[in-house]
Amino acid sequence: MKLKIISGGDHFNTKVIDADSGKMLECVREVNWSCKVGELAEVNIKIANVRVDITGKIKRKLFREKKVKKKLTIQDLIAKERMKK
């Protein structure tokens, strides 16, 4: 999609249009234009109520559970000593 931004300098006259169909995008909530000396112009467009249908692959890294050291009780120490014998 190619977008066309038309602005009269205020929010009442600013429109974002689908350049192919000529239809105005009703879901646009904010347009920010920035141009710094020596850099390319940048436009940020905030769109609300966007409907999507997304399909894709994900990569998932499985984490191993960390072994938690258990505080030993007297019974644990006695059992441990018995196993040594």
CA gap 12, 30 in Å, rounded: 12
20 inside domain: yes
Whose structure tokens read 């905030």?
Answer: 46
Domain region containing 17: 1-49
User: Between vectors from CA 50 to CA 47 and to CA 40, what angle results, nearest 5°?
Assistant: 35
For the stretch 20-61, pLDDT in tens is: 999 998 889 999 989 999 999 999 999 888 888 888 887 777
Query: What mean pLDDT, rounded, does the chain reach?
Result: 84
Residue 10 has pLDDT above 90, yes or no: no
Name the phi and psi angles at 33, rounded to 5. -115, 130
35 inside domain: yes
State the total domains in the chain: 1
pLDDT band (50, 70, 90) for residue 66:
low
| Residue 40 DSSP class | -
73 inside domain: no
Residue 19 has pLDDT above 80, yes or no: yes
Q: Which residues contact residue 25 at a Cβ distance below 8 angstroms, ignoring those fewer than 6 apart?
A: 3, 16, 17, 18, 47
